[in-house]
Amino acid sequence: MSLLSLIILAIGLCMDSFAVSLSSGVLMRPFTWQRIGKFALFMALFQGAMPVIGWLLGLGFRNYIETYDHWIALGLLLFLGGRMIYEGLQHKEECCFDPCATRTAVCLALATSIDALAVGISLSFLRVDMLLSASVIAFTTLLFSVGGLFIGHYIGSRLQKYAEIVGGVILITIGIKICIEHLFFA
């Protein structure tokens, strides 16, 4: 696989992480480098590790993983998105949903990186350098996540009142998109 192909693959894989980063940037308070780094690193580490895990699993578990991965992602994103919408409707002055809480960041990173697990299984058919592949995927995700957080933070000042609701709708939409793609286009 050429480096250009790998970069294109990495960009495709990190689009869900980018979208989640946009909504997280809207909600992240305080918006500090430490919190940006923590969130983006979770996204990048999961995106980079999942293809390696998939590659290691190889052919034996392919059908099993592909059968359920989209349901797991949908469940996690429905739960988190629903929680965000519920908290947004509570009419509190301050945002309750913290995308940088470790448990939340792990769930978001896991939900958005499940596709990378399936890609790792596919890469096990090819002669690829998994260290290079995982590194490119992780680095690309890191860049897109940081960019998404900043864009979301900038846009969030204009959506202040509805930030949690919009973020929740985005997470649920991503979950539905993942599920539809796997059910009808995979």
Q: What is the pLDDT of residues 88-137, one digit of tens each?
A: 787 665 556 789 999 999 999 998 898 888 788 778 767 789 999 999 99
- Note the pLDDT of residue 48: 97
Task: Give the three-state DSSP class for 97.
Answer: coil
CB–CB of 105/81 below 8 Å? no
Is 56 in a helix, a strand, or coil? helix
Phi-psi label, residue 91: left if phi above 0, alpha if psi -120 to 50, beta otherwise:
left
pLDDT interval class at 163 (50, 70, 90): low
pLDDT digits (tens, 9 = 90+) for 1-16: 788 889 988 998 888 8
User: Which residues contact residue 94 at a Cβ distance below 8 angstroms, ignoring those fewer than 6 apart?
Assistant: 29
pLDDT at position 144, please? Answer: 95
Q: What is the pTM of this model?
A: 0.76
Which DSSP category does 129 fall into?
-
Q: What tokens were used for 68?
A: 């359920």
Sequence-ordered list of residues with C-beta below 8 angstroms from that of 98, at least 6 positions apart, any chain: 27, 28, 29, 104
Give pLDDT, residue 64. 67
3-state secondary structure of 77: helix
45-92 pLDDT tens trace: 999 999 999 888 875 665 666 677 778 777 877 887 787 788 778 766
Which secondary structure element, helix H or strand E, spans residue 161, and what is its range? none
CA-wise closest residue to 97 among 28, 20, 166, 6: 28
Please give the structure tokens belonging to residue 42. Answer: 């979770």
For 123, the token pair is 């890469």
Return the pLDDT at 38. Answer: 97
pLDDT band at 21 (very low <50, low <70, confident <90, very high): very high
Token pair belonging to 132:
């290079």
Structure-token pair, residue 53? 């895990």
